[in-house]
Amino acid sequence: PGESDNRNQQKMEMKVWDPDNPLTDRQIDQFLVVARAVGTFARALDCSSSIRQPSLHMSAAAASRDITLFHAMDTLQRNGYDLAKAMSTLVPQGGPVLCRDEMEEWSASEAMLFEEALEKYGKDFNDIRQDFLPWKSLASIVQFYYMWKTTDRYIQQVG
């Protein structure tokens, strides 16, 4: 206290969750259930997503992935752990907020190209990007790979 802070504030970490928040675990769990339901509903309303997520079951599975939970927890934090405010942030006036991860951002043909490239180059993501998916960032390809490894298609190829 009383000393000047000469650190570069832009390089400082930002608090994204307060474990000492006023909510009970049950309240947080209930909010996460609502957030997943909103994510499922948002996918049902989104034309581009409904093409990629042809069933309610697949939409619900996509809404259960980490991106939806991260968004929900961030929404609680940004709204001071006020459940009513956080809820209205999830569903603003224009409709429900849709958060997509790399699995949803890629088209089926891009995923097939990725699998073909992986078969040819293994995990050489630079070559995969250069020869198969030059419009994707390296970070996007790596992130897609780690999500793709959790899918049935990966299990079928390995098994």
For 118, the domain range is 104-158
- C-alpha to C-alpha distances, 94 to 79, 138, 158, nearest whole angstrom: 19, 33, 43
Residue 51: per-residue pLDDT: 44
d(CA 63, CA 42): 9
Phi–psi pair at 76, nearest 5 degrees: -60, -45
DSSP three-state, residue 141 = helix
Tens place of pLDDT for every residue, the chain, 159 residues?
Answer: 788 888 887 788 877 888 899 999 999 999 988 888 888 777 777 655 434 444 555 555 555 566 778 888 888 999 999 999 998 888 878 777 666 655 666 777 888 888 899 999 999 999 999 999 899 888 888 888 877 776 666 556 655
pLDDT, position 85? 93
The CATH number of the domain where 71 resides is what?
4.10.1240.50
The pLDDT of residue 99 is 66
Tokens of 50: 């409904």
Residues 55 and 108 in one domain: no
State the number of CA atoms in the 13 A half-sphere of 26 facing the CB: 0
**Number of domains, the chain:** 2
Q: How high is the pLDDT of residue 15?
A: 79
CA distance 17 to 29: 15
Mark whether 36 and 62 lie in a shared domain.
Answer: yes
Residues 53/29, Cβ–Cβ less than 8 Å: no
Q: Would you say residue 42 lies in a domain?
A: yes
Tokens (6 digits) for 18: 């307060």
Domain boundary among 64, 81, 100: 100
Q: Is 27 within a domain?
A: yes
What the block records as the tokens of 4 is 């000047």
